[in-house]
Structure 1
Amino acid sequence: MWSFLALAVPVLLGSLQAVTAVPTISAVGSKFFYENGTQYYLKGIAYQLTPHDPLVDTAQCKRDIARMSELGANAIRVYHVDASADHKGCMSAFADAGIYLFVDLDTFNTQIEQTDPHWNQTQFDRFKEVLDEFQKFDNTAGVFVGNEVLTTADGSQAAPYVLAAARDIKAYRDEKGYRQIPVGYSAADIADLRPMLQNYLACAGNHSDRLDFYSLNAYEWCGQSSYEQSGYNILQKNATDYPIPIFFSETGCNTPAPRTFHDQSAIFGKKMSGTWSGSIVYEWIEETNDYGLISYGPSVKAAAATNSIIEDGFTRKGTPTPVSPDFGNLKAQWATLHPTGVHLSDYRKVASGITNIKCPASTSGGWAVDPNSPLPTLGQTLSKEAATTMGTSSTDGKATAAGSGASATATKKSSASALTITGTTATERLLAVSMLLSGVVGAVAFWL
């Protein structure tokens, strides 16, 4: 019996240690770092191969990973996943290739809406399920609480709800004892909201009330443009001295064709690499919008799309074939761009001196968020009546936030419906582990 245990225990421990085979990514000050202290820059691809979850077909992931590695990618962004599915195969394959995941927590039914901003228990529960699943993997580098929630100049009323979601997910992460996976937001590039939104989401004095990173979906650099002509110089100006990591969560203008990706030389070059942490190029698969880097075959008419690997008229499985010349153009750009950044040991000496960015003041007809107002509580909604009225309790017991300023200065919910973050204490976790190990030993003894 003891000889069997001598063999079984190392195997068990080895399977547990396999989870930590890849170095994790952390956000320190305004930068990302590997565990060894090397600065991490994203060279990423938007990878929504299938509408509901691209991370469940291990064989397909491995085929795609081979091409991504050829490009020089070290990150993917996935917009929608099924939290109940098995992701071990794909996530392990990406980890083996040194590719990290940035994943959106929302689903098709739980995203925060600009036109009807709210943050409720149903949304929170779904967000938690995605975090619960992907915190298991050390190559999960970050999570998004929203993608392009604010899309118009008058959409600032939704900003506090984005921040409320980040606050609650961070609190849940910490209460559960999960690794400090950075929590961020992916913003639409709306000139009228720059840099107010960017600054609002990072200006809170309390770390728990601000994002861990901010990212931008920007398609300003098109064709034979330049740093100044594209407006990247303005993006850089707005991001200088930003207190948290900032990167491009989508980029790669495709008009005029072909895509040359000359913006990458600016993002990873001397002008921007001291501030920006890289970029995610949109997107992996060729679809109707002509942004794809690879395809799995020609488009198929909807009427003929009876095969399960065909969705929306495009084959989504098989051998990835590079789209020429776009694939080669991106490969050539990334091959020459290798910023070293700063080592964490050196950066810590100056990171403590980073000052909080100033919160943007609300303006009439412009940015309409009062920086002094508290964030919405769970279940709080935006009042659609009396835009300047302070929030009051609604008939269903939910609190109602103030209007035009989206200031969320509503009456607090009753204690019966207040936010309660469930989790386990250290003692409870230790007890659970002890019981699990006892059960394993008992099962082995019974088997023998």
Structure 2
Amino acid sequence: MRSALLTCAIAGLTAVHAIPTIKAKGSKFFTSEGNQFFVKGIAYQLVPDDPLLDAKQCKLDADLMKEIGTNSIRVYHVDPEGDHDECMKTFEDAGIYLWLDLDTFDTQIEQNSPHWNETQLQAFQKVMDGFHQYDNLAGFFVGNEVITKENGTLSAPFVKAAARDLKSYRDSKGYRKIPVGYSAADIAINRPMLQNFLACGSNSSESIDFFALNTYSWCGDSSYSTSGYNKRVEEAKDYPVPIFISETGCNTVPPRDFADQAAVFGKQMSEVYSGAMVYEWIQEANNYGIISYGPKVDPESPNAPPDGFPRSGKPTPVDPDFANLSKQWKTLNPTGIKESDYKPTATAPACPSYTSAAELQWLVNGNDLPTVGATYQASASATQSSATPTGGSNNGEGQPSATPKQGLSPGSPVREVQGMGLGLFGVLLGFFWWM
């Protein structure tokens, strides 16, 4: 009897401290307790390699994140060989979930000459193997802003093939149904087609489990309509999988008031969008941080970080941005719908057809996906059709289409300029990563 009571007591303690897991159902996320889940997150990549190895730093940051209502972080790169137990437990105790990019430092899917091979697949699998066991692992990204150009859509089938193969691997290993999705750059000329392509087709095992968008179109004294957020909702109102903003926080008109959060978590968007992630936690050269670890130092001084911005220590709020975000989030707590009451009705969208029109360009026809080991071979017609279109690049709403970050950006360290060659891009990538 005593043994049985002890077993029940231990089970009860486990249930109290365990965090509910996240799953995708229809166009929404739900916790294992049956509550709809809205992402209220922050991009978190303190160092170029892996921010989830320093348990002391994770604790300092998680405590401050919890104060402002953060429930998610996004990490762009990890070392799958590292020990992440303490950091993951720290964030779990704070009620914070991880959304993790699967690509490592040299395995990302490329926009130029795209390919999906066994080396990439095994590297992605290794990250999944290292993190699937954490209950606060909310989802995996198979790519971040792979397509950054108007004519970059020939790489889209490789992104979708990666999602297909990682979902298949997840299921073959008996892992829980951790959602697998993609984070897209806000490129107006191909955004709606990419969004639909990744979810189209009759075979759900080949489609993404969620779609996310990096968008910086709400700047300064903007609005739901001026920013184009109303159009993003219209484009996604019948989308069959969850959609959320994976980077936001335009800083071209300082200080940032994060007024877009009221739209995202309010009645205007919460029926369609499942939250947003603010870019970013740490202050660095791009000036997007909401905390700092101390004043910038001379990069030439002894033991200084390469860019002069400290990357560990006590997190100190950057004001007024930190306070403004905190003020927004404290008043924004959508409850959504209970899973037991939710009956999804949306079906997969039609796969977009090839078009090279100036206003909308999609260079993929149908839903044929490459197998592992495939490499894109451009035919004469395909090469001709993928030439960069003339004219400027914007999202049709008076805002730049590519993410307007500069300096160190963990997801895409350099925003690729229209027409830039791969060689120059590689040089700049290395330069900006360490500046």
**TM bracket (short chain):** 0.7 to 0.9
Q: What fraction of aligned residue pairs are identical, expressed as a percent?
A: 58
Give the equivalent residue in structure 1 for 2:356: 364
Assess, with a 3 A threshold, how the Cα gap between structure 1 residues 41 and 387 changes in structure 2: closer, same or farther: same
Q: Whole-Å Cα distance in 2 between the matches of residues 345 and 305 of structure 1?
A: 59
Give the equivalent residue in structure 2 for 1:345: 340
Give the equivalent residue in structure 2 for 1:245: 242
Q: How far did 1:205 drift?
A: 1.3
Q: How far did 1:321 drift?
A: 0.2
Letter in 2 for 1:191: A
Give the equivalent residue in structure 1 for 2:318: 323
* 1:132 and 2:129 matched: yes
Give the equivalent residue in structure 2 for 1:377: 371
Give the equivalent residue in structure 1 for 2:93: 96
Secondary structure in structure 1 of the residue aligned to 2:289? coil
Q: Whole-Å Cα distance in 2 between the matches of residues 328 and 102 of structure 1?
A: 24
Q: Whole-Å Cα distance in 2 between the matches of residues 330 and 289 of structure 1?
A: 18
Q: How far did 1:20 drift?
A: 8.4
Residues 150, 158 of structure 1: 8 Å contact kept: yes
Match of 1:195 among 186, 192, 196: 192
Residues 21, 31 of structure 2: 8 Å contact kept: yes
Q: Whole-Å Cα distance in 1 between the matches of residues 254 and 78 of structure 2?
A: 31
Give the equivalent residue in structure 2 for 1:178: 175
Give the equivalent residue in structure 2 for 1:416: none
Q: Whole-Å Cα distance in 1 between the matches of residues 160 and 254 of structure 2?
A: 37
RMSD: 2.3
* 1:225 and 2:225 matched: no
Residues 212, 244 of structure 1: 8 Å contact kept: yes
Q: Whole-Å Cα distance in 2 between the matches of residues 140 and 387 of structure 1?
A: 43
* 1:21 and 2:18 matched: yes
Residues 202, 210 of structure 1: 8 Å contact kept: yes
TM-score under structure 2 normalisation?
A: 0.83
Secondary structure in structure 1 of the residue aligned to 2:247? strand
Instruction: Name segments (4+ residues, structure 1) moved above 2 Å.
Output: 16-20, 384-389
Q: Whole-Å Cα distance in 2 between the matches of residues 68 and 194 of structure 1?
A: 31
Letter in 2 for 1:296: Y
Deviation string, structure 1 residues 386-444 (Cα, Å, up to 9, x no partner): 3459xxxxxxxxxxxxx969xxxxxxxxxxxxxxxxxxxxxxxxxxxxxxxxxxxxxxx
Residues 77, 101 of structure 1: 8 Å contact kept: yes
Residues 103, 143 of structure 1: 8 Å contact kept: yes
Secondary structure in structure 1 of the residue aligned to 2:70? coil
Q: Whole-Å Cα distance in 2 between the matches of residues 57 and 18 of structure 1?
A: 27
Residues 151, 386 of structure 2: 8 Å contact kept: no
Assess, with a 3 A threshold, how the Cα gap between structure 1 residues 19 and 201 changes in structure 2: closer, same or farther: farther
Letter in 2 for 1:223: G
TM-score under structure 1 normalisation?
A: 0.81
Q: How far did 1:194 drift?
A: 2.2
Letter in 1 for 2:257: T
Residues 20, 138 of structure 1: 8 Å contact kept: no
Q: Whole-Å Cα distance in 1 between the matches of residues 285 and 18 of structure 2?
A: 38
Give the equivalent residue in structure 2 for 1:279: 276
Assess, with a 3 A threshold, how the Cα gap between structure 1 residues 201 and 97 changes in structure 2: closer, same or farther: same
Q: Whole-Å Cα distance in 1 between the matches of residues 36 and 20 of structure 2?
A: 12
Letter in 2 for 1:384: A
Match of 1:213 among 210, 213, 217: 210
Alignment of 1:84-123 (within 5 A): 84-123=81-120
Secondary structure in structure 1 of the residue aligned to 2:245? strand
Assess, with a 3 A threshold, how the Cα gap between structure 1 residues 288 and 388 changes in structure 2: closer, same or farther: closer
Match of 1:254 among 251, 254, 269: 251
Q: Give structure 1 stretches of 5+ with no counterpart.
A: 1-5, 390-402, 406-448
Q: How far did 1:17 drift?
A: 6.1
Q: How far did 1:312 drift?
A: 2.6
Letter in 2 for 1:37: G
Give the equivalent residue in structure 1 for 2:380: 386
Letter in 2 for 1:233: N
Match of 2:43 among 46, 56, 65: 46
Identify the structure with bigger relative contact order (alpha carbons < 8 Å, sequence gap 6+). Answer: 2
Deviation string, structure 1 residues 74-119 (Cα, Å, up to 9, x no partner): 0000000000000000000101111000000001200001012000
Secondary structure in structure 1 of the residue aligned to 2:280? coil
Q: Whole-Å Cα distance in 1 between the matches of residues 278 and 169 of structure 2?
A: 30
Q: Whole-Å Cα distance in 2 between the matches of residues 234 and 172 of structure 1?
A: 35
Q: Whole-Å Cα distance in 1 between the matches of residues 127 and 15 of structure 2?
A: 21
Secondary structure in structure 2 of the residue aligned to 1:145? strand
Q: How far did 1:71 drift?
A: 1.4
Q: How far did 1:18 drift?
A: 8.5
Q: Whole-Å Cα distance in 2 between the matches of residues 53 and 207 of structure 1?
A: 32
Q: Whole-Å Cα distance in 1 between the matches of residues 217 and 346 of structure 2?
A: 29
Residues 19, 138 of structure 1: 8 Å contact kept: no
Deviation string, structure 1 residues 252-276 (Cα, Å, up to 9, x no partner): 0011100000000000110100000
Letter in 2 for 1:57: D
Q: Whole-Å Cα distance in 1 between the matches of residues 26 and 33 of structure 2?
A: 16
Q: Whole-Å Cα distance in 2 between the matches of residues 68 and 271 of structure 1?
A: 26
* 1:80 and 2:72 matched: no
Q: Whole-Å Cα distance in 1 between the matches of residues 103 and 92 of structure 2?
A: 23
Q: Whole-Å Cα distance in 2 between the matches of residues 326 and 47 of structure 1?
A: 16
